[in-house]
Amino acid sequence: MTAPDIKLEENPDVAIERVGAAYRDIKAQVGRIIVGQDEVIDQLLIALFSRGHCLLEGVPGLAKTLMISTLARTLSMSFARIQFTPDLMPADITGTDVLQQNRDTGDREFRFLNGPLFHNVVLADEINRTPPKTQAALLEAMQERQVSVGQQRHALPDPFFVLATQNPIEQEGTYLLPEAQQDRFMFKVYVGYPSFEEEKQIARATTGVSADEIDPVLSGPEIVELQKLVRQVPASDHVIEYALALVRQTRINEPGAPEFMKESLSWGAGPRAVQMLLLGAKAKALLAGRTHVSTEDIAALAAPVLRHRIVCNFAAESDGVTTDKVVERLVNETPQAEGKLTSDPRFAGVFQKAA
């Protein structure tokens, strides 16, 4: 039985407790299998509650696939893993029309057979190993939450959550994701090596006898309810302006871009980056037990939101400058205090209004 929708303004304590309980329960279940990686799991859950998709990048053996499949097991929803390969075709993931005979009429007619995209949680494993034609088949699914086959459009289930993995070190037989497709991912999450103690715990757990039972925590309707709660969290004009300031400074051909941006970037972030910053910050605020967004929430998510939406130029890459370093400097040099942004002459171009 589905609980009635909660209004954040009417029941803030109930809303905070529901989100917090879901967060704690999922983390506890995932922790039965996954050791460490708290920041990565937090970002996955923020994306889940914000109705976004995630791209995970890390070297082999860091349990990216296991982490995603474990998270899916904590949700009472359908799950599919798609192993992307060079010979994978769009119809292999979207589904296709097949000619079948109608037993009642005897006529032959086309019937659509769902592909693996028709699940609530989809793991796109090693997404950069498939050609752009198949990668592009995900674009409509991720943005419009539907697939088009022939002349028919087929709606995907709600909620719909794509978690993709890619390997950054193997270039043989890989296809870089186009910027347009990377922009569809709310976060690009870097999965790093575990600490000494975490790796020791992993070694002990994975070479012995251990139970890996996972109890489901949330159902599809419950996740949809939590996603609605996130959108009800208010964001002040100051917070919105701060998010705008971060994103608009990356646009090197627009007014207000600082010199270090023009020296480091060849392309900046689009409006979707602002939307993802605000939605992610709203979810982060609720998880922290607050019903309002702060600039600290925005700053904390700047790297996973922006790192795949800005492009370093050749000169910057030659000097070892990465998008993360650019974002770090951007956050450090953008004041968070209310009033300082609009009064600082450095940001006059950022907030320049059309005549």
Going from the C-alpha of 337 to that of each of 235, 241, 274, 331, the distances in angstroms are 15, 11, 19, 13
Tokens of 134: 């198949």
Q: What is the mean pLDDT of residues 300-323?
A: 91
| pLDDT at residue 167, as a whole number | 80
Q: What is the mean pLDDT of residues 287-311?
A: 92
| pLDDT at residue 298, as a whole number | 95
**What distance in Å separates the CA atoms of residue 328 and residue 317, rounded to the nearest whole number?**
16
pLDDT surpasses 80 at 4: no
pLDDT band at 253 (very low <50, low <70, confident <90, very high): confident
Asked if the peptide bond before residue 157 counts as cis, ω within 30 degrees of 0, the response is: no
| pLDDT at residue 169, as a whole number | 67
- Greater pLDDT, 147 or 14: 147
Mind listing the pLDDT tens digit for each residue in 129-172?
888 888 888 888 888 888 887 778 888 888 899 998 888 766 65
Q: What single string gives the DSSP state of each residue in 142-182?
A: HHHSEEEETTEEEEPPSS-EEEEEE-SS--TT--PPPHHHH
Q: What percent of the chain has pLDDT over 70?
A: 93
| pLDDT at residue 135, as a whole number | 82
Q: What is the mean pLDDT of residues 27-47?
A: 85
Q: What percent of the chain has pLDDT over 90?
A: 19
| pLDDT at residue 140, as a whole number | 83
Mind listing the pLDDT tens digit for each residue in 173-202?
577 777 888 888 999 998 888 888 888 887
Q: Which residues pair with 226 in a beta bridge?
A: none
| pLDDT at residue 220, as a whole number | 83
**What distance in Å separates the CA atoms of residue 39 and residue 62, rounded to the nearest whole number?**
14
Q: What's the mean pLDDT when you consider all of the chain?
A: 84
| pLDDT at residue 211, as a whole number | 61
Tokens of 39: 């920041």
- Greater pLDDT, 235 or 59: 235
Which pTM was predicted? 0.86
- Considering only CA atoms, which of 163, 127, 128, 126 is closest in space to residue 142? 163
**What distance in Å separates the CA atoms of residue 5 and residue 228, rounded to the nearest whole number?**
9
| pLDDT at residue 35, as a whole number | 78
**What distance in Å separates the CA atoms of residue 44 and residue 68, rounded to the nearest whole number?**
9
Start-to-end CA span in the chain (Å): 54
User: What is the DSSP-derived secondary structure letter of residue 188?
Assistant: E
Q: Determine the residue type at 7.
A: K
pLDDT surpasses 90 at 280: yes
- Greater pLDDT, 35 or 93: 93
- List b or e across 29-63, with b for residues whose CB sees 16 or more CB atoms inside 10 angstroms: bbebbbbbbeebbbbbbbbbbbbbbbbbbbeeebb
